[in-house]
Amino acid sequence: MARKQGSHADITGPKVRDAALRLFARHGFAAVSMRQIAAEVGVQAGALYLYTPDKQTLLFDLMRDHLEDLLASWQVPEGSAVDQLEAFCRHHIRYHLDRPELVFIAYMELRNLEPENFAVIEALRRQYEDRLEMILRAGQAARSFDLPDSKLAALAIIAMLTGVNTWYREGGRLARGDIEAIYWDMVRKAVAA
Amino acid sequence: MARKQGSHADITGPKVRDAALRLFARHGFAAVSMRQIAAEVGVQAGALYLYTPDKQTLLFDLMRDHLEDLLASWQVPEGSAVDQLEAFCRHHIRYHLDRPELVFIAYMELRNLEPENFAVIEALRRQYEDRLEMILRAGQAARSFDLPDSKLAALAIIAMLTGVNTWYREGGRLARGDIEAIYWDMVRKAVAA
DNA sequence: ACATTATCTGAACACACGTTCAATTCAAGC
DNA sequence: GCTTGAATTGAACGTGTGTTCAGATAATGT
């Protein structure tokens, strides 16, 4: 009894991705079986292989698309290095709070990637870090920032900002705008000349 | 052929923990089998159950002991809030760089803990965060620090400091003392009045 | 109305999982 | 030298794994 009403590839495909995203984020890639994903979608396990060649690719595609989307979602704006850094910080927080599951997976499941897939993801992440580091270097050249090490500062800032995802809960004590402001305030002071 | 020369419980017990630590850190709890751990120890899988009631407890014991050790390894020293914060930051980096595998597991494998075990670990982590927050509050009361939110600041600082573990490699560009100094510099400025 | 084809099922494959336990081995105590 | 008991093996238990595929189904194009 295949091809029930309204169940087409256009619908099932995204459903598979969504289910995998949700389950991987909650239980971890290794702890989730293809049968669990299939059950979440409402389909038998075999049907998943119409939408992904294997489980590994399912994970890899989620991570790659996430990072490519992150890179595409923001360009360094015109303005001073301070303005650029503020825009970066606010966008980082906003973007990450909007996609907690993707962010979580992209951080936690790196070791479950096969080497060649890992290299791709690593390169994309590096691009993102480099973008921040360029802003920091420019600000340092303009004497707006005082940093002992721009690479470390970039990594430290990203770690700090991404940390928001570990505690933020919808409807909590603070609005997103407040959080952006608080974190931007700390970053601004940390790099200040 | 049991009880080979020199193989006693005093030796095998720690070996099991060490092997589990190493393998969990490298591949993740869910991706490591009891047979792999046993092979690393040089024993059959059944023998592991002389040293742990089950796989879950093996993970939980590693995490609990790590956090209890972390809490025991440092007390808030006498001195100004600034001095206390510096001591905290330097100790945090030092302690975490010395135990990358335990730190990694304690962060990454939280979701593989059964609820009651999770609660224990969560409580220990909270204690550690609270200790930092107390320093920040004291410094704020003394007008040494200017913080919009001491709880967020504590979490942000810990996230930033722990981030060191994601990039630090033995024998790299920077010595540990340099790293401590760089991070402390950023923290100091970030919370400064 | 019929043929086509995208979509899905359900069973099977070979293997791995965590855990248990009777049987075995060997160092130590008497 | 004999008994005891801690340490370990090796096989077994039932269940689950990722993946494949022949066959069934139903919407679509003609």
Residue A81 lies in a domain: yes
Q: Are residues A160 and A113 in the same domain?
A: yes
Q: Domain range holding B92? A: 59-191
Q: Is the dihedral of CA A21, A22, A28, A34 positive or negative?
A: negative
Q: What CATH number should be reported for the domain holding residue A151?
A: 1.10.357.10
CB atoms within 10 A of CB A3: 7
B70 contacts chain A (CB < 8 A): no
Closest C-alpha to B40, from B56, B54, B27:
B27
Residue A4 lies in a domain: no
Q: Are residues B175 and B101 in the same domain?
A: yes
Q: Which two tokens stand for residue B84?
A: 């206390």
pLDDT in tens, A46-69: 999 999 999 999 999 999 999 999
Q: Are residues A72 and A112 in the same domain?
A: yes
Measure B7 CA to D6 C1' (Å): 11
Under DSSP, is residue B182 helix (H, G, I), strand (E, B) or coil?
helix
Query: Any atom of strand C under 7 A from CB of A3?
Result: yes
- Please state the rounded mean pLDDT for residues B158-186: 95
- Please state the rounded mean pLDDT for residues A161-183: 95
The pLDDT, as a whole number, for residue B11 is 85
Residue B185 lies in a domain: yes
Task: Considering only CA atoms, name the residue closest to the C1' of nucleotide D20.
Answer: A46
Q: Are residues B127 and B45 in the same domain?
A: no
- Please state the rounded mean pLDDT for residues B33-39: 97
Contact B158 A163 (CB under 8 A): yes
Residue B2 lies in a domain: no
Chain B residue with CA closest to A179: the answer is B152
Question: What span, in angstroms and rounded, lies between the C-alpha atoms of B27 and B62?
Answer: 16
Q: For B108, which of A108, A185, A186 is closest by C-beta distance?
A: A108
DSSP state of A129: H
Q: Are residues B77 and B172 in the same domain?
A: yes
Strand D bases with any atom < 7 A from protein Cβ? 5-12, 16-27
Residue A1 lies in a domain: no
Q: Are residues A99 and A136 in the same domain?
A: yes
The pLDDT, as a whole number, for residue A169 is 93
Residue A33 lies in a domain: yes
Residues of B in contact with A162 (CB under 8 A): 159
Tally of structural domains, chain A: 2
Q: Are residues B65 and B141 in the same domain?
A: yes
Q: Are residues A172 and A102 in the same domain?
A: yes
Under DSSP, is residue A32 helix (H, G, I), strand (E, B) or coil?
coil
Residue A6 has pLDDT above 70, yes or no: no
- What does the mean pLDDT of chain B come to? 94
pLDDT in tens, A129-164: 999 999 999 999 999 999 999 999 999 999 999 999
Q: Which two tokens stand for residue A124?
A: 């994309």
DSSP state of A12: H
Contact A160 B156 (CB under 8 A): yes
Q: Are residues B79 and B23 in the same domain?
A: no
Q: Is B75:B91 a contact under the CB 8 Å cutoff?
A: no
For residue B55, the surrounding DSSP H or E stretch is helix B55-72
Q: Are residues B22 and B100 in the same domain?
A: no
Q: What CATH number should be reported for the domain holding residue A33?
A: 1.10.10.60
Residue A122 lies in a domain: yes
- Looking at the complex, report in whole angstroms how far the Cα of residue A76 sits from the nearest Cα belonging to chain B: 23
Please name the residues in contact with A141: beta carbons below 8 A apart, sequence gap of 6 or more: none
Query: Any atom of strand C under 7 A from CB of A47?
Result: yes
Residue A187 lies in a domain: yes
A47 contacts chain B (CB < 8 A): no
Q: Are residues A74 and A118 in the same domain?
A: yes
Q: Which two tokens stand for residue A144?
A: 């707006």
Q: Is B55:B80 a contact under the CB 8 Å cutoff?
A: no
Query: Any atom of strand D under 7 A from CB of A35?
Result: yes
Q: Is A38:A48 a contact under the CB 8 Å cutoff?
A: yes
Q: Are residues A66 and A14 in the same domain?
A: no
